Amino acid sequence: MEKKAYQKTSEEVIQELASNAQQGLSNAEVQARLTKYGANVIEEAKQTTLLQKFINQFKDLMIGVLLVAAVIAAATGEIVDAIIILMVVVLNAIFGVFQEAKAEEAINALKEMAAPNANVIREGNIKSVKADELVPGDVILMEAGDIVPADLRLIETASLKIEEAALTGESVPVDKIAENLTDENLPLGDRKNLGYMNSNVTYGRGRGIVIGTGMQTEVGRIANMLENAEKSETPLQTNLRQLGKALTILILIIAVVVFAIGMLGRDESWVDMLLTAISLAVAAIPEGLPAIVTITLALGTTRMAKKHALMRKLPAVETLGSTEIIGSDKTGTLTQNKMTVEKFYVDQKLYNSSDDLNQSGQLLADILALNNDTKEIDNELVGDPTETALIQFNRDKGRNLVQLFSAKPRIDEIPFDSERKLMTTVHQVEHEDNLITVKGAPDQLLERVAKVLIDGEEVVLTSAIKEQILATNHDMATQALRVLAFAYRKMAQMPASLTSEDVENDLVFVGLIGMIDPERPEVAGAIAEAKTAGIKTLMITGDHRDTASAIAKRLGILDDNQKDAVITGAQLDELSDEVFNQKVDQYSVYARVAPEHKVRIVKAWQSRGKVVAMTGDGVNDAPALKTADIGVAMGITGTEVSKGASDMVLADDNFATIVDAVHEGRKVFTNIQKAIQYLLSANLGEVLTLFIMTLMGWSILAPVHILWINLITDTFPAIALGVEPGEPGIMNRKPRGRKSTFLSHGVKSAIIYQGILEGVLTLGVYWIGINYPVHANDAALAHADALTMAFVTLGLIQLFHAFSTKSVYQSIFTVGAFKNKAFNWAILLAAVLLGITIFVPGLNGLFHVTPLDWHQWLTVLGAGVLMVTIVEIVKLVQRRMFNKI
C-alpha cells in the first residue's frame, strides 16, 4: 500500500514532486504544472439561472393545486380571488429563488477564504506570488501571521505552530514537525508534519512543499462534499406536499361526484352544475394555507431574531420544533474557544484560579508573564492562546505587568521546540542574579528540577514530592485541563552562548497551571432542558478522546457510567455504515473526527428516521451543516463557509439560544397545525353542507356565498391562529419526529368530527328555516330566508369554532380564549364583513340574501354556541379517558 504524504520523509516527498528544497521550481516548470493541475482555487458551486430557479418553484404539488384554484376562481368570475392566489404563488416562488441563491454562497465563501499571497522559492529566489498561482512542488516559506496557502508537507520547522480549529475543531494551535510519521490513518489533527490550506500560522516559522492545490486540498474536499451534499426535505415541506397531494385527489373526486349527482337527480343545467361542482372544489381548497404558513413562519423568524437566532430559510423555523438530535461541535459552540486558567498548584496544594495568590503564587504569576511572547495591541492580547491565557490570568488578578517587565527585562531566550517541550527566558534583575524562567510539559521539566519551592523555601525534590506533582498533573489532565509546569533558576554569570544544557538544569520547581477552553456557562442548563424536551445532544469534536469525554461530563452529556459512549474517528472508520447505523444510538461523544465523519453521523441518525440539527462554526462543519435537517452556524466565531451552509445562525454563539429556538419552532408547528385544523374542518363543513343539499335536492349555497365565507374566515382568523402564544408544557413533550404530520396527535379525527358537526349544524339551521319559516305565506321568500340562515350559520359557526381550535385537547378557558389580541380583532373583522352582506342595502341583493328577524338570528347564534359547547365536551371526555393534555 502506498504511503501517505505524512508517512514519507521530506526527501521522499521532494523527490516525488521533482522539486528542490533550496532552489524550488523553475518558472517554466511552474507554467507546465499550472496547465496540468490548474489554478490553486476552490471551484464555485454549479450555478443555475434565475429563470431555472423560478420555474423549479412551480414543481410543488400544492402550488399546482393553487394554480388550479386560481383558474377555477377566474372561471366563476371571482377575478379578485384569482389575482390574490396568483400573487401568493408568485411571492412564494420569488422567496424560494432567493433562498436557493443564498444557499450557493457556502462554497463561494470557501473561495473567498483563500490566502491572497504566499512567499515561494523559485529558481533560488524568494518571491511573493498570488496564492492561486501555486502548484504542487512549490516550496513555501511561512512565519507567524501567515495564512497557509495550500496543503503542504513541512520540511523545516522552527517552533512552528499552526491554528487549525476551522478544519479540525481543536482549539489549541498544533506544534508542527518536519519528521515523518509512521502511524496509518491518522486524523487530520494528528498529522503534525502537514499544513492545511487556509489555516493560520500563530508562532515560529517553517518551510513546506506544496502537495495539494485547489480542489485537491482538504478545504477542496470539503467544498466537493458541500456541492454533493444531499439536502433532505424538511418535515414542513414533506407535510405540505403530502397534504397537497391528498387534497388534490379529494377535490377531484368531490367535484366529479357532485356534478354527476346533480345531473342525475336535478333539473339543473349542466353549466349550473359545473359551477356548483367548481364552487365545491373551491370550498375544499384551503387557498390561504401557503400564505398562512409563510406568514406564521415569518412572524416566528422575527421573534427568534429578537432572541439572537437568525433564520436563513423559513421552513427551518418549524424543523427546529421536530428536532430529536442536536449534534454540536465543541470548540466555540459548547466552549468559549478561549483558553483560560482554571487551576493552579503551588506549595503542594491545588487552588482555583479565583483564589488569592500567596507568596509562591505571586512568583508563579511572575513567571507566567515573563516566560511569554504575548503582544498587546489596542488593549487586545495577541499571540498563542495558551500564552494569552497566562497574561489574562495576571490581568484578572490586577497585577501591574508593565512594572514587572520594566523591573525584569528579557535579555535572552531559548524558544520552545517540540523535542524538549520547554521554553526558557533570561531576565536581568537589578542588584540580583539573572533570573531564568522555564515552562513546559510537567514530565519533561521535572527531569531537570533539583528543588521545589514550598512556603517560600527551596526544598530538595524527593521522589515522594515528585510523585505528588505527577499525580496532580494526571488528575488535572483527566479533567480536560492542559497542564504546564513552571520553574526558575538564578545565575550570576551567563554563558557566552545560551544552550539548553547550560541553563535548563538544577531548576527550582514553582508550580503547575491547568488551562482549559471552558464550557459556556449557560450550556449545561440548555442541554438539561433539551433532555427534558426529549432531545439528545451529541458532542462532535476534533479534540482528543480524554478532553472530549471530560468536557462532556462537565456539561451533562455523559455521566460516569458511560465510558462506551465515546468513540474516535479512527474507531468509526472501522465500522461499516450498516453496523454504525445500528449502533449510532450508543454514542454521545465523537472525538478526533474528520469532516466526512460528521456527515456520516448525521446520515446515520437520519437513517433511523430522526430529525437532526447540527451546530458548528468551522469550515470542517459545513458539509454536515448542509446535510443535516437543520444546520446551525455560529454568528460571531463562525466562518462565512459555515454560515453559508446553514439554515440558522446564532448571533450570540449561545447554545442556549438553540433551545429557545426549539421552543419557538414547536410553537410555530402547533400554530400552523391549529390553522390547518381550523381551515380543513371549516372546508369539510362547507363541502358536507353543499354535498347533502345537492343530494337532498335543496336550494344550495351559490359560489359567491362559498367564496365570500372562504375569504373572510380562511384569512384573518387563520392568520391570527399563527401568532397564538405557546401552550403550557410545550417543552415537556417528546419531539414530534419525522413521521409526525400536521394531521397527527388527534388533529385528523378533530377535523373530521368538527367538520361533520359544522355541516350538521348548518343543515339543521337550514331545515329549521324551511320547516318553520317566518314568511310562511311566501314560499320563495321562505326559501331565501332559509338559505340566508344557512349562509350566515356556516360563516358564524366557523368564527365560533376558531376559538375551539386554539388547542386540540385543552379547554379554551385553559389556553385563554381572549388572550391573543390579534385573534380577537380578526374574529371581529370577519364578523363585520359577514354582517355587512346582510345589513347593507344593495350588498344583500348582490349576495342573494335577506334580512333576518330576531328569531332567526337567535337560531343562528345558538348553532354557533352549540358548536363550541359540543367541542368542549368532546375535549373534556378525551382528557378524562385518554389523559390528553
Most confident of 30-44, 60-74, 459-473, 685-699: 459-473
pLDDT in tens, 63-82: 665 666 667 667 666 565 56
Q: What is the pLDDT of residue 876?
A: 87
Q: Answer yes or no: 329 catalytic.
A: yes
283-307 CB burial, b ≥16 within 10 A, e <16: bbbbbbbbbbbbbbbebbbebbeeb
570 CA to centre of own chain? 26
Asked if residue 385 lies in contact with residue 339, where contact means CB atoms within 8 angstroms, the answer is yes
What is the percent of the chain where pLDDT is above 70?
83
Q: Map out the domains of the chain with their CATH numbers.
A: 5-44+110-228 (2.70.150.10), 50-103 (no CATH), 324-336+520-648 (3.40.50.1000), 340-516 (3.40.1110.10)
> What was the pLDDT predicted at 380?
84
pLDDT of residue 103: 41
- Residue 53: predicted pLDDT: 64
State which of 236-245, 311-320, 403-412, 744-753 shows the largest mean pLDDT. Answer: 403-412
Report, in this order, helix, strand and coil percent for the chain, each rounded to 5.
55, 15, 30
Mean pLDDT for 777-788 is 78
Tell me how far apart the alpha carbons of residues 353 and 807 are, in angstroms, rounded to a whole number. 52
Write out the E strands in 443-492. Answer: 449-454, 457-460, 482-491
Maximum Cα–Cα distance across the chain? 128
- State the average pLDDT for the chain: 82
* Catalytic hit among 81, 132, 329, 647: 329
pLDDT surpassing 80 at residue 325: yes
Core vs surface per residue 798-818: b (16+ CB within 10 A) or e:
bbbbbbbbbbbbbebeebeee
Count of alpha carbons within 13 angstroms of residue 863, beta-carbon side: 29
Residue 558 phi, psi dihedral angles, 5° rounding: -120, 155
pLDDT tens, residue by residue, 147-168: 888 999 999 988 888 888 767 7
DSSP states of 676-701 as a string? Answer: HHHHHHHHHHHHHHHHHHHHHTPPPP
Q: Which three cell numbers stand for residue 614?
A: 447540527
Reported as a pLDDT band with limits 50, 70 and 90, residue 44 is low
All three cell numbers of 224, joined, read: 466537493
pLDDT at 58: 66
pLDDT, tens digit (0-9, with 9 covering 90-100), for 616-668: 777 777 788 888 888 888 877 776 677 777 888 888 777 888 888 888 888 88
CA 343 to mean position of chain CA atoms = 33
What pLDDT sits at residue 107? 39
Taking residue 254's Cβ as centre, other Cβ atoms within 10 Å add up to 18
